[in-house]
Amino acid sequence: MQAQPDFDDLKVIAFDVFGTVVDWHGGIASEVERLLPGVDGSAFALAWRAGYQPAMRAVMDRIASGEGGFTLIDELHLNILEGVLRDFGVTHIDAAGKRELNRAWHRLPAWPDAVAGLTRLKSKYIVCTLSNGNIGLLTEMAKNAGLPWDCVLSAEVFKAYKPDPRTYLGVAAVFDTSPGQVMLAAAHQDDLAAARACGLRSAYIERPHEFGANRPKDVSAHPDNTLHARDIGALADLLGC
Amino acid sequence: MQAQPDFDDLKVIAFDVFGTVVDWHGGIASEVERLLPGVDGSAFALAWRAGYQPAMRAVMDRIASGEGGFTLIDELHLNILEGVLRDFGVTHIDAAGKRELNRAWHRLPAWPDAVAGLTRLKSKYIVCTLSNGNIGLLTEMAKNAGLPWDCVLSAEVFKAYKPDPRTYLGVAAVFDTSPGQVMLAAAHQDDLAAARACGLRSAYIERPHEFGANRPKDVSAHPDNTLHARDIGALADLLGC
């Protein structure tokens, strides 16, 4: 398929990672069931993930009020985990076990189309992460799952989490491009809307089973996105890779 | 070859890039001769590179005195280039030509052993850059030369240039390791000494022709380094990869 002419100046495709490139729900659920037999892995994964946005907002509020510094997601995940373990009544796990469970986020499996799709896109564009995950987490995940990033960019580099404009504009600054030469690819409309507000292009990736096979999510197209793709391979088709 | 037992806990090998992984002298000299016919490419490359350390020191001095912020190497290279062009009496180059020449640093060729050696090391360790070059420069260089980094780390991430301890200790922090679980590989003894002072291990890589085939440099072993290798392939041999 030929790329549309108006993608001629596109230079960078930055990917959201959790949910868009890797299956956090399936990965966490199976590691929870492996490490904590008898616990409902799916419910545990949903509860753990639900703590993520409030924890990031609390960090940004503390930074804004001058009361704290930037915090890596590994540390936020571990703090959230304490509460989830309590809520699920899990008491038979020591500190080393908690760290091992926390590293499940470093071992999340790629969606089946991700490695091949990214490899195709990489032939034509700079393909990087733009995730709130920390650099170490994203690097180990990529090594484990075979994700062929040209570069691992993270909230850790910009000292701000998405949807802070510093993250989206930071990608353009890193590669010395205009915002419009960068496209964010994500399975989340709010992430894409924040990127568009900064002048980036946006590609929605359908991940109907992000929250589990039994909890299909709405993946209908939003007219403001530049592109809408079933998966990363379909995005490569649309961009003529 | 078997790795020595005391490398069992080694996790990350961070590479200096200019001179260690890529041939800045040969790359710049040939691009200068292509873009500025009649100019002595080797002398030009040496003069350009000679401006690098003083420019970084000036930035760090300005930051320390509160008079300026962190500056990307792309910008320092462009500033130094202005003076070198003047010194070489080159007046027939416009702003676009200067930018094109400045991007020669993004296109430096890898030393012949680099891609295969890094690929071997990557099978066992996290293999990343630790360069004063900016992320965009290092990413485009890697894409162009096929360097298979797991992660691109840069002075830009730590907002300090080597030999500032924040850079060496920053690598350990990113990967949540002790400093001793990180090894710096470099063709420069001063870089390695600064890394050792932070508790990192050190591997010297011989690059006798870093300054050109006619200007061999001393590549003798320093007893304080953990390892001494002829090239990156030899480092992979020493580490049993």
Q: What pLDDT, on a 0 to 100 scale, did the predictor assign at position A148?
A: 98
Average pLDDT, stretch A117-138? 98
Give tens-digit pLDDT for A5-25.
589 999 999 999 999 999 999
pLDDT band at A87 (very low <50, low <70, confident <90, very high): very high
Question: Is residue A139 a contact partner of residue B128, using CB atoms and an 8 Å limit?
Answer: yes
Do B34 and B91 lie in one domain? The reply is yes
User: Would you state the pLDDT for residue A4?
Assistant: 54
CATH of the domain at B113: 3.40.50.1000
User: What percentage of chain B's residues is helix, strand, coil (to nearest 5)?
Assistant: 50, 10, 40
Nearest to A126 among B74, B139, B175 (CB): B139
User: A122 and A12 in one domain?
Assistant: yes
Out of B62, B85, B107, a domain closes at B107
The pLDDT value given to residue B142: 98
Same domain, B168 and B86: no
Residues B132 and B219 in one domain: yes
Residue B30 identity (one-letter amino acid): S
Q: Which residues pair with B153 in a beta bridge?
A: B130
- Phi, then psi, of A14 in degrees rounded to 5: -100, 130
Interface contact flag, A151 B134, Cβ < 8 Å: no
Q: Specify whether A113 is located in the same domain as A183.
A: yes
| Enclosing domain of residue A119 | 5-23+109-238
Digit-by-digit pLDDT tens for chain B (241 residues) are 454 558 999 999 999 999 999 999 999 999 999 999 999 999 999 999 999 999 999 998 998 898 888 999 999 999 999 999 999 999 999 999 999 999 999 999 999 999 999 999 999 999 999 999 999 999 999 999 999 999 999 999 999 999 999 999 999 999 999 999 999 999 999 999 999 999 999 999 999 999 999 999 999 999 999 999 999 999 999 999 9
| Burial class for A75, CB neighbours closer than 10 Å (0-12, 13-18, 19+) | middle
Encoded tokens for B191: 């870089």
What is the average pLDDT across A29-34?
Answer: 97
Q: What CA–CA distance (Å, rounded) separates A219 from A208?
A: 6
Cβ–Cβ under 8 Å, residues B42 and B118:
no
Helix (H) or strand (E) holding A57: helix A52-64
The pLDDT of residue B89 is: 96
Chain B: residues touching A (Cβ < 8 Å): 74, 126, 128, 134-136, 138-140, 142-143, 150-153, 156-157, 174-176
B69 CA to chain A: closest CA distance, Å? 15
Cα B145 from Cα B165, distance rounded (Å): 29
Contact B4, B118 (CB under 8 A): no
- In 3-state terms, what secondary structure has residue B47? helix
User: CA Rg, chain A, in Å?
Assistant: 18
CA distance B86 to B88: 5
Average pLDDT, chain A: 95
Residue A1 has pLDDT above 80, yes or no: no
In this prediction, residue A67 carries a pLDDT of 87
Cα–Cα dist B194/B164, whole Å:
8
Q: How far apart are CA A20 and CA B152, in angstroms?
A: 22
Shared-domain flag, residues A71 and A139? no
Residue of chain A whose Cα is closest to the Cα of B124: A143
A197 and A162 assigned to the same domain: yes
Instruction: Say whether both B173 and B101 belong to one domain.
Output: no
Indicate yes or no: CB of A139 within 8 angstroms of CB of B157.
no
Token pair of B56 as six digits = 């970084």
Q: What backbone phi and psi angles, to 5 degrees, belong to A30?
A: -75, -35
Tally Cβ neighbours within 10 Å of residue A219: 16
| Beta-carbon contacts of residue A28 (< 8 Å; ≥ 6 apart) | A41, A44, A45, A48, A49, A104, A105, A108
Residue of B75, B135, B159 to mutate when probing chain A, most A C-beta within 10 A: B135
| In a shared domain, residues A234 and A148 | yes
Question: Distance, in angstroms, between A18 CA and closest chain B CA?
Answer: 18
B127 neighbors B13 (Cβ within 8 angstroms): yes
Residues in B closer than 8 angstroms to A126, CB to CB, are 139-140, 143
Residue ending a domain, among B80, B107, B134, is B107
Q: Indicate whether B77 and B9 sit together in one domain.
A: no
- How much is the pLDDT for A5? 54
Give the closest-approach CA distance of B148 to chain A in angstroms. Answer: 9
Closest CA to A220 of A208, A237, A232: A208
Above 90 in pLDDT, residue A79? yes
**DSSP H helices in B4-72:** 24-35, 41-50, 52-64
> Which stretches of B65-175 are DSSP H helices?
73-87, 95-102, 114-122, 135-145, 155-158, 165-174
Cβ burial A16-30 (10 Å sphere, 16+ → b, else e): bbbbbbbbbbbbbbb
Q: Which ipTM was obtained for this model?
A: 0.94
Same domain for A122 and A148? yes
- Hunting for tokens 């600064």 — which residue is that? B194
**pLDDT (mean) for A168-172:** 98
> Are A155 and A71 within one domain?
no
Q: Any idea what DSSP says for residue B129?
A: E
With beta carbons under 8 A apart, name residues in chain A contacting B142.
150-151
- Which of B107, B127, B148 is the endpoint of a domain? B107
Residue of B11, B176, B178, B181 to mutate when probing chain A, most A C-beta within 10 A: B176
Q: Specify the number of domains making up chain A.
A: 2
What tokens does B11 get? 């996790």
Give the residue-averaged pLDDT of A204-223. Answer: 97
B153 contacts A157? CB cut-off 8 A: no
